[in-house]
Amino acid sequence: MSLYYTRHDSMTQATTTFSPIETAADGSTAGPIAIPPGVKTIKSISAGFAVNGAHTVNTGPVYVLRLTGTGALPDGNQDLVLGSIHHDNGGGTVTDTDTVNMAPLKIPVNISVNAGADLALQAAYYGTDAGSPQIAIEIEFE
Amino acid sequence: MAKYYVTVANIMTQATTVFAQVQTLPDGGTSSSVKVPPGMTKISVLGVALSHNDISVIDTGNNFTVQLSGTGLVDGIQEFLVGTLACQEVGTSVGASLSAEKANYRDVDVKLKPGEVVISAAYDGTDPGSPLVVVTLGFE
């Protein structure tokens, strides 16, 4: 049987800087995920990301998830690339409206965890600040 | 299934068909090579995301190759085709686009021994600007 948890957050930090992903779907500050009793591994990670505001033109940062937490991960921190969104206007002054829809990225993994410890999620991005991206993560434990 | 994941990136300012190291950590630090983690015997996952992080040079199309090298590889240098970026413009119009790309994760089977793994990347075609390549290696 699998167990599923989600967190999301707004990324207001500078490039190549990690910040916590610790908000629950109901808006509460849930913090790290308490790894449930009996759980041994993370089976999959799902992720979504989009700039929630004006996406700065001619930027295309690439997002990265870090798994961390004291005592949570026997093999230490884990960093995984998630993907990117690029807004290009060719350097012109064009006025435009663009939309993009994306299903979550799902990454099958086999990352060992220690039940009872707190798993902290953090996010960073490479490249230029695009605004304030919203990032959402789902963790599947087994 | 991989148990241990490392991620590095590079803004590719080099010329076409020239390998450059991918060595920037997500926290801004530098890792010129990845030490094979103790007990790990192979790289079983390769995850890559590509993006233009500025203005895409119009009428360019590029394929990207990631190269693994170093003392930690049992069978020597390995190269992987990891994706394509393209930007086209017709006439003299100025347009805009918003493109989303999930990282591509694929299974690989690269045998390891104690040592270092060096990650590099190159592209073909005309210089498209300064594309961003981000690479995750999954070990087991």
Task: Report the candidate in A107, A112, A119 with the shortest Cα–Cα distance to residue A22.
Answer: A119
Average pLDDT over residues A98-114: 94
Complex ipTM: 0.86
A57 at interface of B, judged by CB pairs closer than 8 A: yes
For chain A, positions 5-24, list CB contacts with chain B under 8 A.
15-18
DSSP assignment of B100-137: EEEPEEEEEEEEB-SSEEEEEEEE-SS--S-EEEEEEE
Q: Let me know if residue A112 belongs to a domain.
A: yes
| Domain hosting residue A109, numbered range | 3-88+103-141
Question: Is the whole model's pTM more than 0.90, yes or no?
Answer: yes
How far apart are the CA of A135 and the nearest CA of chain B, in angstroms? Answer: 13
Cβ neighbours of B59 (radius 10 Å): 12
Structure tokens at A2: 């699998």
Kindly report the CATH number assigned to the domain that includes residue A79. Answer: 2.60.120
Q: Which of residues 72-131 of A touch B (CB under 8 A)?
A: 75-76, 78-94, 96, 98-102, 105, 107-112, 124, 126-128
Considering the domain boundaries, does residue A98 fall inside one? no
Contact pairs from chain A to chain B, CB under 8 Å: 168
- Count of domains forming chain A: 1
β-partners of residue A79 are A66
CATH numbers and ranges of domains, chain B: 4-87+103-139 (2.60.120)
Cross-chain CB nearest to A128 (options B37, B50, B53):
B53
Can you give the pLDDT at residue B33? 96
CB atoms within 10 A of CB A29: 10
- Contact between A62 and B51 under an 8 Å Cβ cutoff? The reply is yes
Residues B5-27 pLDDT 10s: 999 999 999 999 999 999 999 99
Question: Cβ A16–B105 below 8 Å, yes or no?
Answer: no
Total number of residues shown for chain B? 140
In a domain? residue A94: no
